[in-house]
Amino acid sequence: MAHQLSTNQQEFFRANGYLIDLPAVCTAPEISAFNLDLVELQKLLKPGETSKDIREWHEQSRWLYDICQNPRILDLVEGILGPAFYLWASNFFIKEPHCAQTVGWHQDAYYWPMVPHHSVTVWLAFTDADQDNGAMQIIPRSHHGGVIRHRRSGQTDSVLTLEAERGSFREDTAVSLALKAGHCSLHDDRAIHGSPGNPSARRRTGLAIRYSGTDVRNDLGVNPHFKTYLCRGVDRHRLNPVGIVPTRRFGRPAFRPVSIEEYTGGDAS
């Protein structure tokens, strides 16, 4: 019951586009084990790849799939998306100590070829994330403005070259989503968010997990490898391909998943 959202929490999310200060979804022993297992998963990376390339590996890794299907996480998501939704993406965001790399201001919905806007991202902290080591920041209420123009920049420390157009939102209203390991935040797919570098001596590791209501359709012409994994309820719409639950503990897709930069919806000038 502790992981079911209250009416006040649901109203806060609808008003502000994000939610923090939630009960832990993983215990301290679970998180310790996850960080050790992550090392094993990273051994599957090929030369030249980094942790940013661990995208959609829940499709072939039962360890990662089970994390994404954690019922404590799904209880929180159900409070936002309702009784029927699916898992479709996951990726790690790891900032090593003294890392200058940032994530520029952006909206997930700008990149995703999906309609309607009925998706939520869970950001699960594998380590403590705070202002000192580059915690994610979000612009409250920014999801009410719809999907805004993004521009490409070659002069940036961001892992994204497509960033939300400056001047269309107020950066000084940003809230830092500080999380203890084992806790998570939730944000709307239209919420403007990003993160600074990590000047600290501590690693910052988080897993982003993407869920959508069963009424959301993906454009397979843009993302042909898209697969859904039903989490709760019944998929009465049947709009998207369904993936096969993995059996191997650690694995990776045989194909290269479409990167966020390849989702370029709209004008990316």
pLDDT tens digits for range 25-60: 999 999 999 999 999 999 999 999 999 899 999 999
Please tell me the predicted confidence (pLDDT) of residue 65.
Answer: 98
> Does residue 2 have a pLDDT over 90?
no
Q: How confident is the model at residue 262 (pLDDT cuts 50, 70, 90)?
A: low
Helix 7-16 vs helix 71-81: crossing angle, to nearest 10: 70
> Does residue 157 have a pLDDT over 80?
no
Distance CA 31, CA 184 (A): 12
Please tell me the predicted confidence (pLDDT) of residue 189.
Answer: 96
Please tell me the predicted confidence (pLDDT) of residue 267.
Answer: 34
Region 62-88: what's the mean pLDDT?
98
Fold of 7-259: Jelly Rolls (2.60.120)
Domain boundaries, the chain: 7-259
Amino acid occupying residue 123:
W
Segment 158-187, tens digit of pLDDT: 666 677 777 678 889 999 999 999 999 999
> Does residue 244 have a pLDDT over 80?
yes
Q: How confident is the model at residue 266 (pLDDT cuts 50, 70, 90)?
A: very low
User: 76 and 121 in contact (C-beta within 8 Å)?
Assistant: no
Please tell me the predicted confidence (pLDDT) of residue 256.
Answer: 72
Q: How much of the chain, in percent, has pLDDT values that exceed 90?
A: 80
State both tokens at 140: 């409250």
User: 205 and 87 in contact (C-beta within 8 Å)?
Assistant: no
> Does residue 141 have a pLDDT over 80?
yes
Please tell me the predicted confidence (pLDDT) of residue 269.
Answer: 24
pTM: 0.92
